[in-house]
Each structure stands twice: as structure tokens, then as C-alpha cells.
Amino acid sequence: MAAPEPEIPGPLSATLSARAGEVECPAFALRRATRAGADPDDAAPIVLARGEGTRVVDVDGNAYLDLVAGFGSVLLGHGHPALRRALHAQIDTLVQGLGDVYASDVKVALLEQLAALHPSVGAQVLLTQSGADAVGAAQKTATLATGRHGLLAFDGAYHGLAHGPLAACGFKASFREPFAPELSPLVQFCPYPGIRGASLDASLSLVRETLRAGTIGAVLVEPIAGRGGCVVPPAGFLRDLGTLAREAGALLVADEVWTGFGRSGAWLRSVAEGVVPDIVCLGKGLGGGVPISACIASREAMAGWARGEAIHTSTHAGAPLGCSAALAVLEVLRAEDLVPRAHDLGQAAVAAFRERLDHPLVREVRGAGLMLGVELDSARTALRISRELLRRGHLVITGGIDGATLTLTPPLTVTAGELDGFAEALARSLDAA
Ligand code: PMP
């Protein structure tokens, strides 16, 4: 006799979600209800209890292959022994230092390692707490370096929701609108090739035109539009963007919060694409699930901070736990060769998915490294399929500007067999839809 279908969400998840709904900011419940449309029960969330490797288990004991991995942050999988060892040791030694006043030893070690990741000699680093914080630091760095307040950003872009990066959020105008008078009026948006049908030429010619006035201090770009649906721009886009920015006296800021640190199959996607960004933002996977981020800039770009009294810091910026986590992640990525592995595994997965998922509901399979997008015919289908996948033991989320893309950011330790299993589960879910 076939095993009974698991109840998802199970009763404990349902109870805990209801409790959260009472005390958590209502924006999230509203979003769930809106997504669920006529059938709000169908979008009731699960509540996670534990994780091990590529698996997570919810409070009702249902296990899933975790293809989201903390929005891409759990780079080594859940509970990687090296990360646990480093964190336990750090908790036993020093949980908090004095950041920018009296550094900790692990902070100094991490600063050196991150500076060396930048392609220029003598790069310098500002440690921050979240992706948005790193982007905000990059915005300020560019302003100080160029004396210009204008920012060029892209349609479909997501850089975090603090006020600085929110002004550059091309992902959803509705995220910006209620706060519009508080946001920088000096952001100009250009089309991102591949989003809303924009071509490479259309994008670059608008960039050229926007830069002509000489008011733009920074060109802020995701090397692959992550939240925008894992949209990979055509080869040459970043290189040309770098050239145009340089000619116009603006800095190129590569927001590698999503793509960087191996996720996209390269340490830095921008560098792999042949560009030397003036500033790089890292976050997400940097701490392997522990919050830490960084703004890394060439010495020239960072030099503005050496003139005047402005600083960018916060209580937990560069705190020892995040630093020791990042050092452990770096060491494991190198020791286990996970970055080239992510590149090869991702390339094979895109090819295999394209073949296995040749289905009328699938518009496109795309991605680089282990950031993969499967665009379906609508947001409604994507939500329905993601629920069905949950029932089949696979955890994914939806993304893309219209919400129609299943977005995968598994731990870099995921196996080819697990990715095949996902493709199979997705094919069956599509057939059942
Ligand atoms: N930049 C990019 C490219 C991102 O994908 C994100 C988060 N999805 C951010 C910045 C913001 O990071 P955080 O959520 O940690 O603030």
C-alpha cells in the first residue's frame, strides 16, 4: 500500500504560523494571502526546525531537499562540521569585539582575505551586516570618491530594502513608492538586458545617454539579476558597462551579494566576465548562514573615506562570529574546490533541466553555477508548482519580476543526483498541474 501523502503544512506548522501571524508585522501575512488568491490555505507556510547538509526538516517532521538554502546564504549546507567547529570555538573565545575601535584578531584575518579577493592591488574593505548594508556602504564610498550623488541602477534590480539601496530597487516600484519622498531622487534606471525583453543594445545605449550628463557617481549592477529571476545578461554586458562607467568618471559597483563567493560558479562573477569593478558587495553566502557582509573597493575608490570625518559602521559590523564564519567558509570553499564544482554542476544542471523540462508550462531554464531559474508560464503556476514540490519533498521559492520563476540556490555541496531528483519531481509536478 502506498504511504499516505504527508500533510503540508502539518498541524504544528499551522499552529506556529498562526501564532506568528498574531505578533509579526502584517506585511508578510498580507503577501501570503495575496499570493494565495482565492485559496489562502494553499499558501499556508511550513515552519522549519532543523537542517543537516542539503536537508531541512519542519516542525512536523517532514523532510525536504533544501534548494533555497537560506536565500542562498547556507553555502556549505546546514551544519557543515568546519563551520560548526569555527563557531563553537569563537563562542568560547570572544563573541563580540569593538568593531572599528578595537578590532578582533579574526576581523583582521578576514579583512586581509577579502581585500585579496578584489582584482586590484591594495584593495580595502568595509565590513557590514547585511546585503543592503554593504550596498549602502558602496553607495557612500562612490559618493565620497567621485563627489557625485547620481546613481545609475537597473530595471529588475534588487539590492536590499534599507533606504539607500531601496532607492535603486528596480525589482518592484511598489517597494519604493510609500517612501518615495525619503529616497534619493538622483537614481536613474536603465533596462537590464533580458528583463522585460530589453536587448543588450537598448540597455547600453540608454546607459550611455544617462552617463552623458556627468552627474552619475556609481553604476550599480548585479552581474546576474538574482531576485529578478536569475537572468544572465549576454556576454560583454558587464565589460561594456565597466568601460562606459570609466569613460564617464563613474565607479562600477558590482553587487555580488547573490552571485559572489562561489554561488555563480566563480569567486566574483564580474571578474570572471572580464571586468575589474571599482567596488564589490558581498553578503549572503559569505557567512555560510551567519549574518555578515562586505564592501570591497580598490584603494582609489576607498580613498574618499580618508578625507573628512564620515564613517560607516555599526555595533555588529565585523563582529567576531561573522568573521570566523566567513573565514571557515573561505577555507572550505578552497579545500573542497567547491567553486569550480559549482560552475560545472550548474552547467550540467542547466543542460539536463532543459532536456527533462521540455514542457508547455516551462518558458525558460537559465542560470550560472548554482543559481538556477526555471521560468514557468505565470506566477500562479509557479506558486502552485512550488507547493506541489513541497509535497514531493523539494523546497524552492518563486522569484522574477512577475513571480513566475522557480529560483534555486542550493548549498554548493548539493549532488548531481539531488539535482536530477529535483528535475524529476518538477517534471511530475508539471504533468500533474
Ligand atoms: N543585493 C542582492 C543582489 C541581493 O540579492 C540581496 C538580497 N536578496 C541584497 C543585495 C540584500 O541583501 P540583504 O537581504 O542581506 O539585505
pLDDT recorded at residue 40: 61
Nearest CA to ligand 1 atom 13: 131
Write the residue with the smallest CA distance to atom 7 of ligand 1: 160
Q: Which of 127, 159, 224, 314 to mutate to test the pocket of ligand 1 (most atoms within 8 A of CB)?
A: 159
* Residues 137-161: tens digit of each pLDDT: 999 999 999 999 999 999 999 999 9
State the closest ligand 1 atom to the C-alpha of 161, by its place in the atom list counted from 1. 16
For residue 289, how far is its CA from the centre of ligand 1 (angstroms)? Answer: 13
Say how far apart CA 323 and CA 379 lie, in whole Å.
38
Which atom of ligand 1 is least distant from the CA of 293? 15
Pocket of ligand 1 (CB under 6 A): 71, 130-132, 135, 158-160, 222, 226-227, 255, 257-258, 283
pLDDT tens readout for residues 366-393: 999 999 999 999 999 999 999 999 999 9
Which residue has a Cα nearest atom 10 of ligand 1? 159
Residue 239 grid cell: 565589460
> What's the longest Cα–Cα distance across the chain?
74
* C-alpha pair distances (Å), 432 with each of 9, 45, 373, 393: 20, 22, 21, 16
- Which pLDDT score, from 0 to 100, does residue 42 have? 65
- Reported as a pLDDT band with limits 50, 70 and 90, residue 4 is low
Per-residue pLDDT at 37: 74
**184 burial level (CB within 10 Å; 0-12, 13-18, 19+):** middle
Domain annotation for the chain: domains and CATH numbers: 11-67+337-432 (3.90.1150.10), 81-335 (3.40.640.10)
Cell output for 428: 511530475
Which band of pLDDT confidence, cut at 50, 70 and 90, is reported for residue 35?
A: confident
pLDDT digits (tens, 9 = 90+) for 40-99: 656 789 999 999 999 999 999 999 999 999 999 999 999 999 999 999 999 999 999 999
C-alpha cell of residue 97: 569585539
Task: Find the 255 Cα to ligand 1 centroid distance in Å.
Answer: 9
The grid cell for 87 is 563557531
* Mean pLDDT along residues 246-256: 98
Q: What is the Cα–Cα distance from 233 to 193, expressed in whole angstroms?
A: 6
Name the pLDDT band for 256 (thresholds 50, 70, 90).
Answer: very high
> E strands of 196-243, at which residues?
216-221
Average pLDDT over residues 417-430: 98
Distance CA 47, CA 40 (A): 17
CA atoms within 13 A on the CB side of 284: 30
Q: Does the bond joining 9 to the residue before it have cis omega, within 30 degrees of 0?
A: yes
Per-residue pLDDT at 44:
81
- Write the CB contacts of 358 (distance below 8 Å, at least 6 apart in sequence): none
pLDDT of residue 39: 60
Dihedrals φ, ψ of 327, to 5°? -65, -40
Q: pLDDT band at 38, cuts 50/70/90?
A: low
Which one, of 302, 318, 197, lies nearest residue 253 by Cα? 302
- Closest CA to ligand 1's atom 15: 131
- Mutational test site, ligand 1, from 171, 230, 284, max ligand atoms within 8 Å of CB: 284
